[in-house]
Amino acid sequence: MYKAQGAEADPLKRLQDVYEMQDMVYEQMPYILLDYEDNRVAWSSKWTDFVESPRGELTFLSRQSLLGARRTG
């Protein structure tokens, strides 16, 4: 497919071929899970304003969750 798209004269047909190759790579992209993060979370109604991050509520990558937290009442 790569060679065929390189020889294609019609730019729209070539672009279609490139998109098809990108879809193939996306669909067949293998991955190996190397680690399961050991994550424990506990909640208390005495604290509020924790900032959620994509890696979990409390993560060593961001102190923002702890800096924004405050006691209620």
Q: What are 6-27's pLDDT values in tens digits?
A: 999 999 999 999 999 999 988 8
48 Cβ partners below 8 Å, 6+ apart?
69, 70, 71, 72
- The pLDDT assigned to 43 comes to 72
What are the domain boundaries of the chain?
1-30, 33-73
- Proportion of the chain above pLDDT 90, given as a percent: 32
Q: What's the rounded Cα separation, in Å, for the pair 50 and 42? A: 12
For every residue of 12-70, DSSP letters joined together read HHHHHHHHHHHHHHHHH----------------TTEE-PPPBTTBSSBTTB-HHHHH-E
Q: What is the pTM of this model?
A: 0.41
